[in-house]
Structure 1
Amino acid sequence: MNETDIPLTIARALKLILETGSVSEAARSLNVSQPAISKGISQLERRFGMPLLQRGARPLNLTDEGQMLADYAERAGLLQKQVLQNLDEAANNRLGAVRLGSFGSSASFQILPKTLAAFARRYPGISVEILEFPDGELQQMLEDGIVDMAIMTVPQDDGLDIIPVATDKLVAILETGHPLAEKPSVSAAELAAHPFILTKGGSGPLVERWFAAAGQAPRTVHTVLQINSILALVEAGLGVSVIAELALPEGSGNYRALPLHPEAPRSIGFVRKEKSARSTAVDRFWKFCSRFDY
């Protein structure tokens, strides 16, 4: 035993001695021999250099120092009861938390609301916290343990577990009266001829790669994070943009969403480090997502 440890059995024995006034009764309740209890108390008295029992009292009573150890035993018992209760609640899906990374609008608008609502109905005691990061940072957030799992553009990494959810694609966003608005699709060269509003969200790097693959560079006049802000700028005639189709909010506005030529698809899924569930709650959410009908 480490010299800084307090033997919990002896502390519990002191608590029982306080209640019964008898070493024998305490030993019987703990299913330990009386000599073992007496020896343990004596060892603690020598260690601390003070008596723990008022041995002249009948019934046997504790000193103030013995009372401290009895109080410690009671608090330890309450803590154990609480821990066991929490473990039981976690095992029965009544307690827990999940940190879910998200790359932003595509997930927030189209995927997460119905998924989280269905999960909450089934497991109301498990909370899911959404933490939004740019798509390029999410994999590092997983590696660092900042998030338990993430919904993101599926990376090419053999060390990750992946649940495929949806296939998305980039679309051009233009004001309804824009000269390109009636075309069946638009190219990088056509978009590069107009002022461009670049998304700072998760699909931003994919947009830039699409332009680069065509040997073009957008004439970026604004760099904007929020999808609604991008749409407002487009509707005001301040530029054209390219965003992920799933990021578009429901309803219509004074803009057109046109296919790109060539297309720029991307796969979206839930991702976690391979077999790395931090808790029962995280594992439960992962399994729920793997079976959910998207």
Structure 2
Amino acid sequence: MSVTLKQLTVLSLVVEHGGFGAAAQELGVDQSSVSHSIAALEKTAGAALVTRTSPIQPTELGRHLIHHARSALAAARAIESVIEEHHQNVPTGTVKIAASQTAAHRLLPQLMNKWAQALPEVDVRIFEGDDEELEEWLDSGVVDCAILIDPEKTPAGGVELLTDRFQAVLRKDHPFSTEDRIALGELLEDPLLVSAGGCEPQIKAIHRRIGARYAPAQRVREISTLLSMVENDIGVAIMPALAVSMMPSTLVMVDLDPSLERRLVLTGPANRPWHPPVSRMLELIVTESKNRA
């Protein structure tokens, strides 16, 4: 077989972006070059790997192949980084990091500034996703590290960034907006709005703790849409405190009773060696934390 890393890269980007044109733009080549790479890979495979629809989707064989392709590409990035660091004596290469919307909005800009100062040869690329997508992307090699939410087990070397509590999101003119704490049962007298993009498992868990039925009035994906709906008096929401920096001035966050927290852990994959710069990035966080203490 004559499968090349270039072909696997093209396949990964075509599936990721859902089209030949977007993949070509990402690679800085013309669309015909992307088409030829996919055609050559399909000739080697003896079957179609993607559909010619809009958006493009992987075929059954393509789905099986893409999982291994991403792992191979992640390993290739790590190999290149090891070689470059050996010759330059500094960490180098591109690191892909995944995070939820709230973590990406509040935590990553601060971390990226620290990494840019200490590791100037490392290029960090952000991938925003749902809580469930983060672990899948990390396992499959789409990304090199991720800020996971409440992982069952933290891989060796992983770093807990913070513990974030859930709060009620209300309009400032809501009757409970000036309270120090709101009982969940009282909050649920209003329509509950939730984001399907993340945190639903935790919100369901807090319902179970008081024996309440989980029955959201609306489920949306984007946090910005959710906040706009609360702002327009369509209902109330439960969100992690990190989201406070995303809220308009017309809304407030109030503590809940019972309280509920989530752990945010930055880690590399559990099923393969880490991309070398990832270890250095996490070491910087640990060192800074010790210095503060």
State if a TM-score over 0.5 links the two structures: yes
For structure 2, the residue ranges without an aligned partner over 5 or more in a row are 1-79
1:77-107 deviations in Å (ceiling 9; x for gaps) = xxxxxx89962576433630111111221x1
Whether contact under 8 Å (1:149, 1:273) holds in the other structure is: yes
* TM-score w.r.t. length of structure 1: 0.63
Residue equivalent to 1:97: 94
Equivalent residues in 2 for 1:1-294 (5 A)? 87=84, 91-93=88-90, 95-105=92-102, 107-157=103-153, 159-249=155-245, 253-274=249-270, 276-293=272-289
CA apart distance, 1:162: 2.1
Residue equivalent to 2:51: none
Q: Residue 253 of structure 1: SS of its match in structure 2?
A: coil
Structure-2 separation of matches of 1:94 and 1:148? 15
Whether contact under 8 Å (2:161, 2:265) holds in the other structure is: yes
Matched residue type, 2:130: P
Q: Could you say which structure has the larger radius of gyration?
A: 1
CA apart distance, 1:212: 2.3
Q: Residue 282 of structure 2: SS of its match in structure 1?
A: helix
CA apart distance, 1:163: 0.3
Structure-2 separation of matches of 1:215 and 1:173? 21
Name the CA shift for 1:250/1:223 in 2 (closer, same or farther; >3 Å).
closer
Structure-1 separation of matches of 2:86 and 2:213? 55
Matched residue type, 1:104: Q
CA apart distance, 1:219: 4.4
For structure 1, the residue ranges without an aligned partner over 5 or more in a row are 1-82
Matched residue type, 1:254: T
1:189-223 deviations in Å (ceiling 9; x for gaps) = 21222111112233222112211221113542321
Percent of pairs with identical residues: 23
Q: How many residues align?
A: 211
Structure-1 separation of matches of 2:120 and 2:229? 40
Structure-2 separation of matches of 1:260 and 1:169? 9
Matched residue type, 1:198: V
Matched residue type, 2:196: K
Q: Residue 258 of structure 1: SS of its match in structure 2?
A: strand
Name the CA shift for 1:218/1:90 in 2 (closer, same or farther; >3 Å).
farther
* TM-score w.r.t. length of structure 2: 0.64
Whether contact under 8 Å (1:169, 1:244) holds in the other structure is: yes
Name the CA shift for 1:104/1:267 in 2 (closer, same or farther; >3 Å).
same
Q: Residue 152 of structure 1: SS of its match in structure 2?
A: strand
Q: Residue 141 of structure 1: SS of its match in structure 2?
A: helix
Name the CA shift for 1:235/1:251 in 2 (closer, same or farther; >3 Å).
closer
CA apart distance, 1:291: 2.5
1:9-45 deviations in Å (ceiling 9; x for gaps) = xxxxxxxxxxxxxxxxxxxxxxxxxxxxxxxxxxxxx
Q: Residue 211 of structure 2: SS of its match in structure 1?
A: coil
RMSD: 2.8
Name the CA shift for 1:90/1:253 in 2 (closer, same or farther; >3 Å).
farther
